[in-house]
Amino acid sequence: MTFRILVVCAGNICRSPAAAQLLAAGLEDDTQVSSAGLDAMVGYGLDPDMAAAMRRAGITPQPHRARRLNPWLLEVADLVLTMDRTQRSRVLEFAPQMMNRTFPLREFALICSSLRDSGQLSWPARSAQESRLQEVAARAGDRDAGARVPVGSDVVIADPYRGTPADHDSAVHEIVDAVGAVLDAVRRGSPGPPPLPLHPAPPRRAARPRHILDDAGAAVTASSPGRAPRRTAGPSSPN
């Protein structure tokens, strides 16, 4: 059975399609990621300013057409991710049964990091990402499972629509960070032992060639200890 993730924002032309495309690119075929808007600009493509910000971040935008959120999309979703808590509340007006499966994206990312850092996620090597996502979503929905979001955490990804390039860049970077935390938890689970610190050896200074004379009076270059001296052209013998 396919695990379905639905990403929701306002117009479905900036934040939610960007997040959905990043999640889809990082997850395997046993998951399905789509997006919708609470006040969608139906039929519009990805906002050009958002597409430009994605390219600046090294992300290739994919084709997109905006659509409006509806009860059927929520009925088939296993996990819903919004851009803030107000949008989460609006989603729950459509589908109150999604209470424990709907989160702001950044909040879900914080929960994933909390579960991972506390050692509560452990994946068998061959487990499918579908089952991993199911477990992460179930633990996130169980507020007593030990996952904690720090008090005062900012979980809003602000709408950059009609904003400056910096606004779009900020939204893309926040989405990238949040999606990265989710993918990290799903792929790797609990962290292993920290790696041993590496102390690189200081760079060796190149030895300066020095010239000496051999017994015959020819110039010899000595470049490093342990090597035979290299004979160079010297003055011709007077004999």
Catalytic residue (one of 9, 88, 101, 132): 9
* Residue in this structure with the two tokens 């609470």, named with its chain if needed: 38
CA–chain centroid gap for 106, Å, is: 12
Spatial separation of the C-alpha atoms in residues 89 and 95, rounded to whole Å: 10
Catalytic residue (one of 14, 15, 101, 116): 15
| Cβ–Cβ under 8 Å, residues 102 and 2 | no
Would residue 9 show up in a list of annotated catalytic residues for this protein?
Answer: yes
Helix runs in the chain, H state only: 15-26, 48-56, 71-76, 85-94, 105-117, 129-141, 165-188
| Pairing of the two strands 210-213 and 219-222 | antiparallel
Would residue 112 show up in a list of annotated catalytic residues for this protein?
Answer: no
Spatial separation of the C-alpha atoms in residues 88 and 127, rounded to whole Å: 30
Enzyme catalytic residues? 9, 15
